[in-house]
Amino acid sequence: MTRYIIRRIISVIPTLIGVTFVIFMFQRLIPGDPAIAMLGEHATEDSINRIREQFGLNRPLFLDREALATGDLSGFFDSQYVNYMERLSHLDLGESIHRRIPVLETLKLRFPATVELSLLSMIIAILIGIPVGIISASRRNSLIDSVSMVGSLIGVSMPIFWLGLMEIMLLAVILKWLPAGGRLSTGFEINGITHLYLVDSLLNGDLAGFKDALSHIIMPAVALATIPMGIIARMTRSSMLDVLQEDYIRTARAKGLGGRLVLFRHALKNAALPVVTIIGLQAGTLLAGAVLTETIFSWPGIGRWVYDAILGRDYPIVQGGTLLIALIFVAVNLIVDILYALLDPRIRYK
């Protein structure tokens, strides 16, 4: 197991290098001068030169034409790409053009909000999606099965922005049960330990803060959970149906084992691999979906932050946020691969 994990971690390194290269090239593929694209067409020459110097845009991407013609590769180490990788090695993601705040500092402040929202959404999706899939598979072609699959199809098909607006209209405007947006009400303050407000409020014994934080997060979490919930339910049902037709399931039933014991001990364990895969993929996708959700509910996470940066053409923030989301996708896939080996001992590198 240790050797398998080490090999999987080593195999991630080329992926990370590829991710950084793609993000680097996308910023350079902006039509025209990237410095002008960042500052706008009415920027002064001094500010444009300052941005070029700050981001190393006055250097060649990799090698200039003269170096390529002469075969002199020494200039590569003074290129934009090497400068970009050197800054990344020091965890320097640059500085916001408009606010003059290091991108990494803002990421540290906003990332916990996105993590809390994504985790709660995934918990909701798993707690509802897996049981629905199991019940549908155990009662195939019944009324419960049909209703469950229609419901999951609606959840997958429903746009997040529409559902979020309907939640706000019904629960916040008409019924006034929940706040329309934000992370905490005015006057509430939670002592930061993990910076996950639900967790910190419980650790501090602040029940009033916990209720207020929960009332703010429940609507965006439900809206964000609808798509992965439907996908997990359908995948669980499909995987369970395949396993329930296997010979060892018939043998277990022939031995007189109860229906629940057969479902949970024998069928669910062997049907878990596809479900784990889809949960891992959806965990990464939640971060992308959080851009819309955080914007609708004024949630102060990286999704809304990157969205505002795109509108303001603050490319260091866009680049830093994109890099973080890409790294999380890679990390989640690595965790899923390791879980594969735990769930099925046959999966090993030779």
Is residue 223 a contact partner of residue 160, using CB atoms and an 8 Å limit? yes
pLDDT above 60 (res 21): yes
Domain presence at residue 95 = no
pLDDT above 60 (res 189): yes
pLDDT tens per residue across span 105-160: 888 888 899 889 999 999 999 999 999 998 898 888 889 989 998 998 898 888 88
More confident residue, 93 or 347: 93
pLDDT above 70 (res 65): no
Is residue 122 a contact partner of residue 221, using CB atoms and an 8 Å limit? no
Per-residue confidence at 218, pLDDT binned at 50, 70, 90? very high
Domain of 37, in residue numbers: 2-89
Q: Tell me how many domains the chain contains.
A: 2
In whole angstroms, give the CA distance from residue 278 to residue 301: 24
Is residue 83 a contact partner of residue 89, using CB atoms and an 8 Å limit? no
Domain presence at residue 19 = yes
Hunting for tokens 């003059």 — which residue is that? 100
pLDDT above 60 (res 349): no
| Helices of type H across the chain | 2-28, 34-39, 45-54, 65-70, 80-89, 103-138, 143-157, 160-167, 197-203, 207-244, 247-254, 259-261, 268-270, 272-296, 302-311, 315-343
How many residues are given for the chain? Answer: 350
In whole angstroms, give the CA distance from residue 20 to residue 180: 37
SS3 95: strand
Helix (H) or strand (E) holding 170: none
Domain presence at residue 331 = no
User: Is the domain of 160 the same as that of 292?
Assistant: yes
Read off the pTM.
0.82
Domain presence at residue 282 = yes
Domain presence at residue 165 = yes
More confident residue, 297 or 42: 297
pLDDT above 70 (res 252): yes
Domain presence at residue 326 = no
Give the whole-number percent of the chain exceeding pLDDT 90.
21
Query: Residue 208 sits in a domain of what CATH number?
Result: 1.10.3720.10
User: Is the domain of 118 the same as that of 65?
Assistant: no
User: Is the domain of 84 the same as that of 129?
Assistant: no
User: Is the domain of 300 the same as that of 180?
Assistant: yes
In whole angstroms, give the CA distance from residue 197 to residue 174: 27
What pLDDT is recorded for position 124? 94
User: Is the domain of 130 the same as that of 266?
Assistant: yes
CA-wise closest residue to 104 among 92, 113, 112: 92
Domain presence at residue 102 = no
pLDDT above 80 (res 3): no
pLDDT above 70 (res 68): no
What is the rounded (10 degree) CA torsion for 218, 143, 129, 12?
Answer: -140
Cβ partners under 8 Å of residue 77, min gap 6: none
More confident residue, 102 or 59: 102
User: Is the domain of 132 the same as that of 54?
Assistant: no
pLDDT above 80 (res 4): no
Cβ partners under 8 Å of residue 284, min gap 6: 325, 328, 329, 332, 333
User: Is the domain of 215 the same as that of 296?
Assistant: yes
| Helices of type H across 168-246 | 197-203, 207-244
Cβ partners under 8 Å of residue 22, min gap 6: none
Report CA-CA distances (Å) from 248 to 32, 133, 137, 266.
64, 21, 17, 8
Q: Any idea what DSSP says for residue 349? A: -
Domain presence at residue 330 = no
Q: What mean pLDDT comes out for the span 209-236?
A: 92
For residue 288, give both structure tokens.
């992308």
In whole angstroms, give the CA distance from residue 19 to residue 347: 27
Is residue 171 a contact partner of residue 219, using CB atoms and an 8 Å limit? yes
CA-wise closest residue to 231 among 120, 333, 152, 141: 152
Mean pLDDT of the chain: 82
What pLDDT is recorded for position 338? 80
Query: CA-based Rg of the chain, rounded to a whole angstrom?
Result: 25
For residue 125, give both structure tokens.
């999706």
pLDDT above 70 (res 339): yes
User: Is the domain of 47 the same as that of 10?
Assistant: yes
Report CA-CA distances (Å) from 59 to 18, 62, 179.
21, 8, 50
Query: Of the candidates 58, 89, 120, which is a domain's last residue?
Result: 89
User: Is the domain of 219 the same as that of 259?
Assistant: yes
Per-residue confidence at 207, pLDDT binned at 50, 70, 90? very high
User: Is the domain of 69 the same as that of 214?
Assistant: no
User: Is the domain of 166 the same as that of 280?
Assistant: yes
User: How would DSSP label each residue in 183-195?
Assistant: SS-TT-----SSS
What pLDDT is recorded for position 167? 93
Per-residue confidence at 350, pLDDT binned at 50, 70, 90? very low
User: Is the domain of 136 the same as that of 83?
Assistant: no
What pLDDT is recorded for position 126? 93
